[in-house]
Amino acid sequence: MLSVYQVYLLPGNSVYCGSTISPSQIPLYTKCILRLKVILIFYSLQGRTLILKDIKSHESLSLVCITQLERRMADAGNKESAPIGGDEFTNTELENNKNNTMVEEGSTLLRRMEISVAEAEKRTGKNTVNMQEIFTVYLIETRPIDAITEGHNPAPDSLWRRYSEFEILRNYLLVTYPFIVVPPLPEKRAEFVWHKLSADNMDPDFVERRRVGLENFLLRVASHSVLSNDKILYHFLTEEHRWKEVVYETGFQAKADSRIKALSATFRVKNPDKRFTEMKHYSDELQSLTSQLLRVRARVADRLYGVYKVHGNYGRVFSEWSALEKEMGDGLQSAGHHMDAYAASVDDMLEEEEHYADQLKEYLFYAEALRAVCRKHELTQYELETASSDLISKKQQREELATGMVRTFSFKGMTNKLFGQETPEQREAKLSLLEEQIVQGEETVTEKTVECEEYVKGAWVDMQRFKEQKDRDLREALIGYAVMQISMCKKGIQVWTNAKECFHKM
Amino acid sequence: MSACTPKSLASSGQKPIQEMCHPLGAEEAVLTPSPDVRNITSSIGEKDQILPNGTPVETSSPSSSSSLLNRLQLDDDLDGETRDLFVTVDDPKKHVSTMETYITYRVVTKTTRVEFDLPEYTVRRRYQDFDWLRTKLEDSQPTHLIPPLPEKFVMKGVVDRFSEEFVETRRKALDKFLKRVADHPVLSFNEHLNSFLSAKDLNKRQGLALLSKMGESVKYVTGGYKLRGRPVEFSAMGDYLDMFTQKLGTIDRIAQRIIKEQSEYQVELREYGPVYTTWALSEAELQGPLEGVASCMANCSSALDELTQDMSEDFLPVLREYVLYIESMKIVLKKRDNIQAEYEAKLEAAAFRKEEKASCTQVPTDVEKCHDRVECCNADLKSDWDRWQNNKRQDFRQLLTGMADHNIQYYEKCLAAWESVIPLLRDKQPQETETEED
């Protein structure tokens, strides 16, 4: 029995074929990011084998794995009803999906709304200094899920945004939710480029990869239990023109911590939560390692390119040689063609590998977001410590004034000694001021303590979530990479076997 | 020193030679004679064609050529044509004496020919001896193509004459040389070959060798006659050789370039894997997968090492040695030209004299002899050329197939490594075991 399902895979997941899954266990709502393009996949079932097909060409995708689904099978553990054909979703399927999204609790925006970054276009306009510039805009499409489930297929709402607007959104989220490891944006400029890859921001491949990265960003944000409920995010997705004013009105820019403040807090904080300190070290490691990995990978790609391309020269010389020969000619000529094919095959393979590099880059940038959360903790802790020590010193001053004993050195005390004691009225005034300050101070300390505790609680939860997400995603990335290598080896075997047959016929 | 397994011996349909165990052969393929043995009649002056071990010989009759070629496969042997002379060069050993240090090779001969007293011989020969043999063959068979020897002189500072690699490359080339000679219908019956294969000591003949070096061969190569009309087919041969040399040069350069690129790729790969290992140290759940990837890359790296080494050792030397073979062929062509030129000159001189002595109607005998020599030379050359072409075809088929094989093996090793890592990557901590079916 053949049934057709429309599926989405949340970002960071990949699929590959070869496993058998019973029909009832397929979670829906999985969008697969494959070959730098986001494509919809139809699953078709014959018996118990799952076959994945490209929606446009209907050709089977052999590179596609189903680990994520299998893991979810183990995780889910609840009985789902068999999915129905076409693009309808029942409530149970949505329930299923809820268990299978990356966020466990709360309702997320992504569940109510389908979001995608569908296209990219070049525009020209005047920039802030009134000069002509070319920039790229990206089309964000949204569609409410309800509309789809009711069997309609409405056209999506859409608006155009440029990269800088995404940056503003992210900065807003960073300031507003400092305890959340905020998903990163794709890189602003092309880095870790191997020589054939363009470092030009206008290059179509770069733009395409950025489109995917931006969509990934939106999907991650919209599926986060906390971030997805943000109104500004919603506006970003739905209101093209007024959004910037609205976001600036929140005054988030003013709330941003100054760098200097943050830095000095890092040095002077006395008792940060040990777990956060460890996490900060980890984030440093993650950043340095992924960056090193990306650099070396780019060099490896370069060298591999060279190896393959030189083989193309064999194609040419075999062709020339075959013209000299009688019986050997045909075999040589055909072998030469295979050498050409071999040399040409490296382009596609390396382009595909860029997807792996993009996955690593995402976590390179995530490391920075993680560090930011740890440092914010250090800042809040430092502020608490400062408030506490301020309070203590104020209390000590009060004690001194009341008892007349000088315990702490102060200029006031010295000048008093030099120029004479103050009057009882003056002392009273000072005492009551101090009392006020102490009351305020105690309030501040209480506030800061609560703030710190809540921060630690919230941040720790999100850091755990992040850790699990990271483990999952990177594992998937490694699997994807291994699958790519396997495909590359198989192609190599194929080409050389073909060439060998031609040599045999010489 | 490595004792290499020689190429498998051919079977003889008539003799029980196939049951004879080769003294060195550990893994010997059991060969079956093919049923459709064709008795190939030879042209005048040549004995029955013998099929060689590994380098098959072509006859000059076209119909048999194609049928033979159709049945040719690498390292497989042909059917039971009468083969009665098998030679192998192996077991290199170093000899240290007060005067010098040198390498000798064991030469093993098996034969049923009556020209030989015994059916089997084992002797030790050094490069000098092979050189002597070649010179002797050149002198006694000036019109034939004598296969080349590997380079005689090596710069002492640059190449280690006693390194395993060098000695092995040389051994292979000497083995090839001797096999080609043994397979040649004329050369294989040369008395000097007989001595080379059977005599205990060749030393006594060294003196003669030096003297005879300045013998006939020189005359034929450097003859001062000018050639008028070279037959088209021989010109075509010369042209072909020139162009072929060029192509070989290009292939050599490409192969070297590939090896270089692969080495540079290897350098980067060696840095790449360890980063994963370092990363694994910072991770908990990802530690296993990351280490798995790192070890996988180490495997691929060593597979690449083997590929590069194989190409350096197996591919390049054979390619280069072929240039020498081409040179030998060119020399033979030149000799032929000179013989023809000599004939033409004598003919012209005779025609002159004939004019003077109008009565003489006979063609002088020495001119006739020259004419015969020309005809003979042309015939020999043509058959040698055909043989050479076929050897070339076989050799290159083998060489290129070997190259393809090395590459296939490399990719298969890498494939195995990556495929074995996939279950490791998919496997999670014991708490979350999943049963997966592939």
pLDDT confidence tier of residue B10, bands split at 50, 70 and 90: very low
Could you tell me if A79 and A24 are in contact, meaning their C-beta atoms sit under 8 angstroms apart?
Answer: yes
Is the pLDDT reported for residue B129 higher than 80? yes
CB pair distance less than 8 Å for A493 and B251: no
Residue A336: its chain B contacts at CB < 8 A? none
The 10s digit of each residue's pLDDT in B376-417 is: 888 888 988 998 898 899 999 999 999 999 999 999 999 999
Sign of the dihedral defined by the CA atoms of residues B199, B202, B204, B210, in that order: positive
Residue B206, pLDDT above cutoff 80: no
Assigned token pair, A400: 């001194």
Residues of A in contact with B254 (CB under 8 A): 310, 313-314, 317
Enumerate residues 15 to 34 of chain A having a beta carbon within 8 A of any beta carbon in chain B: 18-20
Which phi-psi region, left, alpha or beta, contains residue B240 (left: φ > 0; alpha: ψ -120 to 50)? alpha
How far are the Cα atoms of A2, B185, B311, B409 from residue B308, in angstroms, in the given order? 50, 38, 5, 12
Check if the beta carbon of residue A476 is closer than 8 Å to that of residue A68. yes
Residues of chain A where predicted confidence (pLDDT) is lower than 50: 1-51, 54-56, 58, 61-106
How does pLDDT run across B155-198, given as a tens digit for each residue?
A: 666 667 778 888 888 899 999 999 999 988 888 888 889 888 88
Give the model's pLDDT for residue B265: 95
Chain-wide mean pLDDT for chain B?
76
* Percent of chain B's residues with pLDDT above 90: 27
CB pairs under 8 A between A and B: 152
- pLDDT on residue A420: 57
Tokens of A11: 């970002």
pLDDT attached to residue B225: 61
**CA distance to A105, A328, B347, B359, per residue, from B368 (Å):** 109, 40, 9, 18
The predicted pLDDT at position B283 comes to 93
Name residues whose C-beta falls within 8 Å of residue B275's C-beta, 6 or more positions apart in sequence.
Answer: A289, A292, A293, A296
DSSP-assigned beta bridge partners for residue A141: A116, A158
Which has more pLDDT, B35 or A164?
A164
Distance between CA B90 and CA B27 in Å, rounded?
A: 16
CA distance A89 to A193: 42
- Per the CB < 8 A criterion, the answer to whether B132 and B152 are in contact is no
Confidence at B22, pLDDT banded by 50, 70, 90: very low
Write out the H or E segment, with its range, that includes residue A181.
none
Q: How far apart are CA B41 and CA B59, in angstroms?
A: 9
The answer to whether the beta carbons of residues B374 and B343 sit under 8 Å apart is yes
Residue B373 pLDDT more than 90? Answer: no
> Would you state the pLDDT for residue B3?
41
Please report the pLDDT score of residue B229 as a whole number: 77
Residue B404 to residue A304, Cβ atoms within 8 A: no
B411 and A493 within 8 Å at the Cβ level: the answer is yes
| B:67-96 residues touching chain A, CB 8 A cutoff | 69, 73-74
Tell me which residues of chain B, numbers 243 to 272, contact chain A at a CB-CB cutoff of 8 Å.
243-244, 247, 250-251, 254, 257-258, 261-262, 264-265, 267-269, 271-272
User: What pLDDT is recorded for position B438?
Assistant: 37
**DSSP 3-state assignment of A419?**
helix
| A18 with B296: Cβ contact below 8 A | no
Chain B CB contacts of A359 under 8 Å are none
- Chain B residues whose beta carbon lies within 8 Å of the beta carbon of residue A503: 397, 400-401, 404
Instruction: Report the C-alpha gap between A415 and B248 in whole angstroms.
Output: 100
For the segment B253-281, what is each residue's pLDDT rounded down to a tens digit? 999 999 999 999 999 999 999 999 999 99
Q: Nearest 5°: phi and psi at A141?
A: -115, 135
Residue whose C-alpha is closest to residue A319's, from A329, A308, A307: A329
Cβ separation B251–A314 shorter than 8 A: yes
Q: Can you tell me the distance from the alpha carbon of B181 to that of B141, in angstroms, rounded to the nearest whole number?
A: 12
Range list of H helices, B283-364: 287-310, 316-356
Q: CA-to-CA distance for A279 and B264, rounded, in angstroms?
A: 38
- Contacts B242 to A, Cβ<8 Å: none
**pTM over the 0.90 mark:** no
CA distance linking residue B5 with residue B24, whole number of Å: 7
Q: Where are the alpha helices (DSSP H) in A124-273?
A: 145-149, 163-176, 204-222, 231-238, 243-249, 252-255, 259-268
pLDDT at residue A108 in the model: 74
pLDDT at B105: 92
User: B278-292 burial, b for 16+ CB within 10 Å, e for fewer?
Assistant: ebbebbebbebbbbb
